[in-house]
Structure 1
Amino acid sequence: MTQSSAQQQQEQPQIEPVFVARQPIFDRAERLWGYELLFRHSAEATSAAFAESSVATSKMVADGFVLAQAGLPPACMLFINFPEALLLDGAAYALPREQCVVEILENVSPTPAVLSACDKLKAAGYVLALDDYFGEADMEPFLALADIVKVDLKGKGRADIEALTRRLSRDGRKLLAEKIEDAETHALVKNLGYALFQGFYFSRPETLSGRKVSGAAASRVKLLSELGKDDYETAALSKIISSDAALSYRLLQFINSAFFSRPFKISSIGQAIAALGQRPLRHWLMAVILSDLSPTPKAKEICANSVQRARLLETLAANSGRSPRPPDSMFLLGLLSRLDALLGMEMARIIAGMPLDDEIADALLGKPNAPRSWLDMASSLEAGEWGKAEHLLGALGLNPQDAARRQAEAQVWTLQTLTSASSSPP
């Protein structure tokens, strides 16, 4: 490790090993409105979220919140699941009421003590949301307190959705449709007046007959795979960047950011390339190229998820000694893994003809192999599927605490990288 690298490592704050998953919530215009946060301390209970009150400490809530909100605009609301123990302990008061939505879990009983705790939170200015609701009688007492009702649509028929929506709409509550899995359901609840939307529909590709990748997008996708090759030369990277004024500006913004804490300013592309090194430069460029593929809010969320996944897989591969492929290949795997959602097409059509390693290509197509297992592990962490993630981490011989730490570091790196990616010359 170089002296500057060691100095950077010392200067950067140590990140608690807390698993954090962020699931996006969109408004009617498909703009990002907020996230639902799911988190768990990797060294504690094995079940999802907060299985025991001893695990669900205020400190963990605060740590997870700080990690998840990094780089988000102040108006972005963050939904946090609160089981009964946390509601009674007053853990929400550790969080800012301007940005925190207290989400009452579906298994919380509306006892007098719980209702009193919720009433005090509401009086203190906190927004309350009732989770996974679909007309359950035992949850009715919470409706009088809930500012937002999250309606669980999974497996529900159109007539039932319409009937419940009419009843809930009478009192003017904000309705959030969750577990939306297809375009038809999204259109239904949007027509019914729902304000907010959450579900796999926003991260899955919408396959359109006859659709193909545009020429510009195809060339960028091919460049991504070319950049992922081990033998890609620094001279070629320099040529790509130097020939694009906006790209050059973005690289200089990135290399001179506070993230690196450099004592002097870098003012040329040559200096930037020398300071970063070939591998970090390639990965930065790949992240920037991916971010340029689509400008929509939904696409930006998918891009951020892809870059974070790529960084997580790369650093785990570099430090575990158990990776099935070199770190660069694992970075490429993560980066390309959501191209189908980003471009709205089937993965097979996107990667056809791309110069990809057979094992990486098979993993992207969902075929079972070692890289695919790593990809599934990363996907489970992102979705907050803690039981599945823990099983996969164990099967892959990866340490959960190390994975949690590297996931947090990947989020910080992604934020910094994509901030530079969105910059443009003044």
Structure 2
Amino acid sequence: MIEDNFILREPLLDPKQRVIGFQFSWQQADSNAQVDSQNLDYLLEFVAGHLNDDDGFLLADSLVFLEALPELLHADGLKSFPPKNTVLILHKKYFADESTLAAVKELRALGFGICLRGAEVTTLERSFFAFVSHIEVQLNAANFASQAKVYASLKQSSVKMVARNVSTWQDFDACAALGLDSFVGKLHLIPRPSSAPKSLNPAQTTILQLMEMVRKNADVQQLELVVKRDATLAYKLLRYINSAGFGLRTEIQSLKHAVQMLGYSPLYRWLTVLLATASTSGYSPVLLETAIVRGRFAELLGQMKMPKSEAENLFVAGMFSLLDRLLGLPMEDVLSTIQLPEVVTEALISRGGVFGPYLALAEACELNSMLVGSLAESLKISAEDVNTAHLAALVWAKNVATAA
């Protein structure tokens, strides 16, 4: 059944590793299999329904890439997407049909993007440029020099080049040098090699001290004394808290105000985010955003089955699950720096315990993993609820990442 499908997201990175968009698709055993129009239409409707509200598009300036077939070029769901943020992926074989070409022209006139798939860039006719906004390209590291010449000429046009199947950081750097945006699959979950010494910097040490004090419910005045050592940390912490959409009608003005309004648990989670951003080497915007999505996703899944106070620890588990890569330290070293609840530690080490399956489910939705269905079934969470939480976490994380 269509309703049993699970959404897979893949980030689109610009040459500076910033997330500028996502492709949404369905999890499927054969990643090369073509999804039928009914499935694609349902995906379009579902994504549109959860990324838009009365205030407009919820992912700010991010691009949304969706695979399309000719019969979907007039789908009602497209009316819910802002044209400037929407790119439909269409194979070149469909451009031979006059009615399809007419629909493409109409969508382009409205401001929608069209990404051309399956084209041979070296022999591509310039006439295509009038109909598309993006072209998918496949990097060939063995023939890089000749590709570079072709891509250099394409850069003179208004058509954006998007690299597919970029599987190593060396290939990503090659694409970045050519000015290509890149879909990177799971590459962003793999830390870039670094020769920098792996140790906590002073800001991170201060944040860990604050986290331990918050865990022990230390007096707010004591917390403020520590925060005053680094005015930048205090500023960033308040920016995160005020960006996250707690539904507060007043802006949080100080650490004391934050504790009075929110309590200690939400403060702890924001210190976790702050710890992840305090790296002075190897900072990765996409990895940070992924960690925030994972944490919020796991938390939203947990809220369906447990009290809010317990689910808040799932956010911490999600953040810590990538903190080793964000800090450039082994997980054992990260866990030795701070005492976490046993259920969180168990989830991080073995994906076991009460929290483990929720964290594993959030992780599986980042990859084309067939474990998603069985994990969701074991937690008795429907595909629709998983997909709703996934997109809600993405929107929430985008607001937080903007404050970084």
**d(CA) in 2 for partners of 1:412, 1:212:** 32
Q: Any idea what the Cα deviations from partners look like across 1:332-374, whole Å, max 9, x if unmatched?
A: 2201112243234554554456545677556546x56455543
Partner of 1:103: 89
Partner of 1:25: 12
1:3-82 residue pairs with structure 2 within 5 A?
22-28=9-15, 30=16, 32=18, 34-38=20-24, 51-53=36-38, 56=41, 59-66=45-52, 69-70=57-58, 72=60, 74=61, 76-82=62-68
Q: Using the TM superposition, name which of 263-272 and 277-286 deviates more.
A: 263-272
Aligned partner of 2:322 among 338, 341, 355 = 338
**d(CA) in 1 for partners of 2:134, 2:79:** 19
Partner of 2:133: 147
1:44-193 residue pairs with structure 2 within 5 A?
51-53=36-38, 56=41, 59-66=45-52, 69-70=57-58, 72=60, 74=61, 76-89=62-75, 92-104=78-90, 110-131=96-117, 145-153=131-139, 158-159=142-143, 166=149, 170=153, 172=157, 173-191=159-177, 193=178
Aligned partner of 1:390 among 369, 373, 379 = 373
Aligned partner of 1:401 among 380, 384, 387 = 384
Aligned partner of 1:281 among 244, 267, 270 = 267
**d(CA) in 1 for partners of 2:285, 2:23:** 18
Residue 316 (structure 2) pairs with residue 327 (structure 1): no
Shift of 1:185: 1.4
Shift of 1:86: 1.7
**CA spacing shift, 1:242–1:307, aligned 2, 3 Å:** farther
Letter aligned with residue 181 of structure 1: S
Partner of 2:285: 300
**CA spacing shift, 1:301–1:141, aligned 2, 3 Å:** same
Q: Any idea what the Cα deviations from partners look like across 1:46-99, whole Å, max 9, x if unmatched?
A: 999964426615643532443795253x4x443333233322537545433333
**CA spacing shift, 1:183–1:333, aligned 2, 3 Å:** same
Partner of 1:215: 201
Specify every segment of 5 or more residues in structure 1 that has no aligned partner in the other structure, as ranges: 1-16
> SS state of the match for residue 11, structure 2?
strand
> SS state of the match for residue 56, structure 1?
helix
> SS state of the match for residue 184, structure 1?
helix
**CA spacing shift, 1:93–1:261, aligned 2, 3 Å:** closer
**d(CA) in 1 for partners of 2:253, 2:208:** 30
**d(CA) in 2 for partners of 1:332, 1:344:** 18
> SS state of the match for residue 98, structure 1?
helix
> SS state of the match for residue 181, structure 1?
coil
Q: Is residue 284–residue 417 contact of structure 1 (8 Å, CA) maintained in 2? A: no
**d(CA) in 2 for partners of 1:234, 1:92:** 50
**d(CA) in 1 for partners of 2:150, 2:395:** 43
Shift of 1:182: 1.4
**CA spacing shift, 1:226–1:321, aligned 2, 3 Å:** same
**d(CA) in 2 for partners of 1:240, 1:279:** 14
Partner of 1:4: none
Shift of 1:35: 0.6
Partner of 1:9: none
**CA spacing shift, 1:302–1:188, aligned 2, 3 Å:** closer
**CA spacing shift, 1:212–1:46, aligned 2, 3 Å:** closer
> SS state of the match for residue 37, structure 1?
strand
Identical counterparts, % of pairs: 20
**CA spacing shift, 1:251–1:202, aligned 2, 3 Å:** closer
**d(CA) in 1 for partners of 2:340, 2:310:** 14
Specify every segment of 5 or more residues in structure 2 that has no aligned partner in the other structure, as ranges: none
Q: TM-score scaled to structure 1, two decimals?
A: 0.70
**d(CA) in 2 for partners of 1:223, 1:131:** 51
